[in-house]
Amino acid sequence: MFGAKKFVENSMKDIRKIVGDRRVISACSGGVDSTVTTVLVHKAVGDKLVAVFIDDGLRREGEPQFVVKTLKSLGIKTKFIDAKAEFFAALKGKADAEEKRKAFRDKFYKTLGKAAREEQIEFIAQGTIKADVIETVGGIKSQHNVLEQIGINPEVYGYKILEPLKELFKPDVRKVARELGLPKEISERMPFPGPALSLRVLGEVTPEKIAVVRKATEIVEEETKKLGTFQNFAVLHNDKATGIKKGKRVYGNIVTVRIVDSQDAVTAKARQVPYEVLMRISERITGEIPSVVRCLYDITDKPPSTIEFE
């Protein structure tokens, strides 16, 4: 049985021993993994930690403000980096899923490395968990935060890595979050991938496409709050379909909605959502987003598919 209290105590000791008098930077996206990591390190080394929120332009509606507010309310020194233009430039022209992940990863570490150098910091803390390592090492997909385990030396980006959660699966990370007294909005937060909405725009990522999927995501999240599912989201397709808007033929966007149950993201089942919920989502997505003419529901389990489309 995993003991969250013991884990926190041991992590404190380990982090203090590794870090010593040096300083740590932690990139916090607001997800449970990176927030627990940030709070653990803060508890261990106090003001020797600087949390960083990188606004890559790929976050959900209101997320940048929510994360910065949460970190500040926890008394953690926080730096906000606006890197939207740089991330869109790095993703420009890239349509292949793995190429996109690698471009994201490279831009992410360069941005973080630059911030670490500016603050004269040697350590980067990050919320890698066991599933990230398994999937990346197993060649399923390159999780953006897995470096050393696949032979990339993080020192090429100019720092050392601290990964206090790398032996834990998601349910245990949530136990640690509760043990640390984090608000429910964090401890029970729906998983959201590091490369964010870039994985939910199939094909090339542009600010316009991100705006479409961001709005669709907001609608799906609002309409599925009560379902208690593991992950609920929208995906924007790369191809188009015929539809009718304001009495005229339109060749418009297609959005797929995905709602899954899972314990640890290693396997997942598509939820049999009440039809009224799906209809309401479809009406809102096609009604509130002018370019979308078609809304689909994904009924595939993992395996054979994965949770995300990319």
Residue 131 half-sphere exposure toward CB, CA atoms < 13 A: 14
Q: Does 195 bind ligand XMP (CB under 6 A)?
A: yes
To the nearest whole angstrom, how small is the minimum distance from the Cβ of residue 260 to ligand XMP? 9
Residue 36 binds ligand XMP, judged by CB under 6 A: no
The answer to whether residue 130 forms part of the interface with ligand XMP (CB under 6 A) is no
Using CB under 6 A, pick the residue from 55, 119, 148, 308 that binds ligand XMP.
308
Q: How far is the CB of 302 from ligand XMP (least distance, A)?
A: 5
Nearest residue to 76 (alpha-carbon basis) of 9, 128, 26: 26
Token reading at 303? 């395996």
Report if residue 194 touches ligand XMP, rule: CB under 6 A.
yes
Q: Which of residues 238-267 bind ligand XMP (CB under 6 A)?
A: 265
Per-residue b/e over 8-47, b at no fewer than 16 CB within 10 Å? beebbeebeeebeeebbbbbbbbbbbbbbbbbbbbebbee
Integer Cα distance of 232 and 31 in angstroms? 15
Residue 210 or 307: the one with the smaller Cβ distance to ligand XMP is 307
Residue 79-118 contact track with ligand XMP, rule CB under 6 A, x = bound: ----------------------x-----------------
Interaction of residue 193 with ligand XMP, rule CB under 6 A: yes
Residue 231 lies near ligand XMP (rule: CB under 6 A): yes
| H or E segment and range at residue 52 | strand 49-55
Using CA atoms, how far apart are residues 20 and 23, in angstroms rounded to an integer?
8
Q: Are 293 and 244 in contact (CB under 8 A)?
A: yes
Measured CA to CA, the distance from residue 154 to residue 110 in angstroms comes to 11
Stretch that binds ligand XMP, among 18-26, 59-67, 72-80, 137-145 (CB under 6 A): 137-145
Which residues in the 37-76 window bind ligand XMP by CB under 6 A?
A: none
Asked whether position 164 contacts ligand XMP by CB under 6 A, the answer is: no
Is position 30 an interface residue for ligand XMP (rule: CB under 6 A)? no
Please name which of 286, 227, 285 lies closest in space to residue 260, comparing C-alpha atoms: 227
What is the closest distance, in whole angstroms, from the C-beta atom of residue 127 to ligand XMP in the complex?
Answer: 8
Q: How many CB atoms lie within 10 A of CB 99?
A: 12
Three-class DSSP category at 101: helix
Report in angstroms how near the CB of residue 194 gets to ligand XMP at its nearest: 3
CB of 224 closer than 8 Å to CB of 236: no
307 forms part of the interface with ligand XMP (CB under 6 A): yes
**Positions in the binding site for ligand XMP (CB under 6 A):** 101, 135, 141, 143-144, 191, 193-195, 231, 265, 302, 306-308
